[in-house]
């Protein structure tokens, strides 16, 4: 399947205009050849400490694919000032 990155999210290519015609469910190789969509590459979730960290994913497009990117964040730990 081929996708485009729209508002930061991958959206599957369901139709294209080619040679004056609309093609529904176009073949992936044609979509890629025309530069109208990209393959989607998912990546595994990185290791992280579930007690002190959390992960988020996002997508980036390069010249050949749309790639899933994971970011590890540190949790903000509230400390009590009460004795």
pTM of the model: 0.78
User: Residue 80 has what pLDDT?
Assistant: 65
Digitized pLDDT (tens) for each residue of the chain, 83 residues in all: 999 999 999 999 999 998 899 999 999 999 999 999 999 999 999 999 999 999 999 999 998 999 999 999 999 877 766 66
Sign, CA dihedral 22-23-24-30, equals negative
Tell me, what's the pLDDT at 77?
75
Q: Are 38 and 4 within 8 A, CB to CB? A: yes
Helices and strands (H, E) in the chain, number of each type: 1, 7
Q: What is the pLDDT of residue 82?
A: 63
Structure tokens at 1: 């399947």
Q: Is 65 exposed, middle or buried (0-12, 13-18, 19+ CB in 10 A)?
A: middle
């Amino acid at each position: 399947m081929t996708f485009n990155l729209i508002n930061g999210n991958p959206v599957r290519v369901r139709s294209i205009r080619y040679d004056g015609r609309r093609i529904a469910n176009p073949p992936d190789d044609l979509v890629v050849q025309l530069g109208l969509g990209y393959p989607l590459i998912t990546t595994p979730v990185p290791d992280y400490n579930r007690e002190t960290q959390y992960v988020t994913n996002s997508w980036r497009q390069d010249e050949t694919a749309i790639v899933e990117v994971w970011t590890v964040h540190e949790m903000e730990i509230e400390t009590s000032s009460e004795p």
